[in-house]
Amino acid sequence: MPEVKKIVIIGGESTGKSTLCAQLAAHYNTSWVREFAREFLEKQQCTYAYSDLIKIALGQLASENIAVNKANQYLFCDTNLHVIKVWSEHKYKQCDPIIIEQIKQQKYDAYILTSPDFPWQHDPLREHPEESMRQYFFMLYKSILENEQTPFCIVDGSERNRLIQAIAFIEELF
């Protein structure tokens, strides 16, 4: 059986990551990993502390490990530990060393970065609707990906355009 390619959809809040993951999983008839932080925070009634971020990170990894066994050729991940690290450093000015170590150990085959040109949708779990903050986080993720050795692309425009761009990237890469 061929190895499953793990592709992370990464980007700021309300940039269409979950939608794109679901669309790609449907297109490729495979599974995807939902953002564990969302499930965790809904149970916590949207409140969290620095100490919760390690729980979220480990939950995200556990979800990926379960989903990869159900995947068919590709596994699409709605965010990864880079997002938790960025969030931790932004909000708490530090990141748990375990998260940093886990980032070094994880292997992904590609990243798809979602542009913040997607319309903002209010959600009680989202914290930064300001255009300047959306650009700030986009540039942080872009910088991280530029320093990785993993291929990535940026998708923008409508949901349909993003899906077309992502599929073209995947087809060209694999």
Residues of the domain holding 134:
5-173
The reported pTM is 0.92
Q: Residue 59: count other Cβ atoms within 10 Å of its Cβ.
A: 16
Residue 125: predicted pLDDT: 54
Residue 128: predicted pLDDT: 57
Residue 127: predicted pLDDT: 55
CA distances from 73 to 14, 27, 38, 67, 155 (A): 27, 12, 26, 12, 22
For residues 81-103, one letter each, b for 16 or more C-beta atoms within 10 angstroms of the residue's C-beta and e for the rest, the string is bbbbbbbbeeeeeebbeebeebb
Number of domains in the chain: 1
Q: Which CATH number characterizes residue 83's domain?
A: 3.40.50.300
Residue 122: predicted pLDDT: 56
Q: What is the pLDDT along the chain (174 residues), one digit of tens a residue?
A: 569 999 999 998 889 999 999 999 999 999 999 989 878 877 776 677 899 899 999 999 999 999 999 999 999 999 999 999 998 999 899 999 999 999 999 999 999 999 999 776 655 555 555 678 889 999 999 999 999 999 999 999 999 999 999 999 999 999
